[in-house]
Chains A and B, each alone.
Chain A
Amino acid sequence: AQSVSQHNHHVILSEAASLELGCNYSYGGTVNLFWYVQYPGQHLQLLLKYFSGDPLVKGIKGFEAEFIKSKFSFNLRKPSVQWSDTAEYFCAVSVAGGYQKVTFGIGTKLQVIP
């Protein structure tokens, strides 16, 4: 079965700082990878996804993530965070070609200080 580990559970940054959230997964086959975000009081929503092709994927609000297959990693980055990026971020994986059950990591709470 697949699993996901997120390295940072709580991150505090000042506005304009750069962000990188680590994510590693374990699964021997082909996977789809995701970052979901949950803003305070809102639903989980998809930030970006990797399905195939270019390992550098761009999502909404200036976020990007890079899939490094050899490291089983899918780290999330943003060059300059804003206060509105305060949220909880979940890395997730599903088995490619399956019915797309998603396995989530524990989540990282990001707090951006103005």
Chain B
Amino acid sequence: DTGVSQNPRHKITKRGQNVTFRCDPISEHNRLYWYRQTLGQGPEFLTYFQNEAQLEKSRLLSDRFSAERPKGSFSTLEIQRTEQGDSAMYLCASSLGPTSGSYNEQFFGPGTRLTVL
């Protein structure tokens, strides 16, 4: 499968624990995005990488959240001291870019469903 992959697919943790999710984008894609989707809502943008550079972080991304893309390939999203409000589906997407004057489709992974007890 050459699409975007995410691991783990499901994570159950206790409040206060740290969790880390991994995203492997499509290999030639240099842009990588993280979104969060809660029940009954559409995905919400969290952060964006172009190669290894993190170029924007949403206000949704509190100090407990950190994302990295160390070599411009896979990315990790870590949540420290998890809270029940962090329970959500965390989606990763990747795309080609930049391409002047055009849009490059974002391809989404299956997501990691986090449940904080």
Contacts and interface: CB of A to CB of B under 8 A. Distances in A.
Interface in A1-40: 4, 32
A100 B106 contact: yes
A90 B93 CA distance: 15
Contacts of B45: 101-103
Contact of B48 (A51, A99, A104): A99
A44 B108 contact: yes
A86 B113 CA distance: 22
Interface in B88-117: 91, 93, 95, 97-98, 101-106, 108-111
A51 B33 CA distance: 20
B40 interface: yes
Contacts of B4: 43
Interface residues of B, number: 30
B31 A105 contact: no
B50 interface: yes
Nearest to B102: A51
Contacts of B106: 46, 100, 102
B31 A99 contact: yes
A48 to B, nearest CB: 11
B103 A51 contact: yes
B20 to A, nearest CB: 21
Nearest to B91: A44
Nearest to A49: B103
B70 interface: no
Nearest to A9: B40
B90 to A, nearest CB: 13
Given A99-B48, A105-B42, 13 more contacts: A43-B111, A45-B108, A51-B102, A94-B103, A99-B56, A99-B97, A99-B98, A101-B33, A101-B48, A102-B33, A104-B42, A106-B41, A106-B42
9 contacts: A44-B108, A92-B42, A94-B103, A99-B98, A100-B97, A100-B104, A101-B56, A104-B35, A106-B41
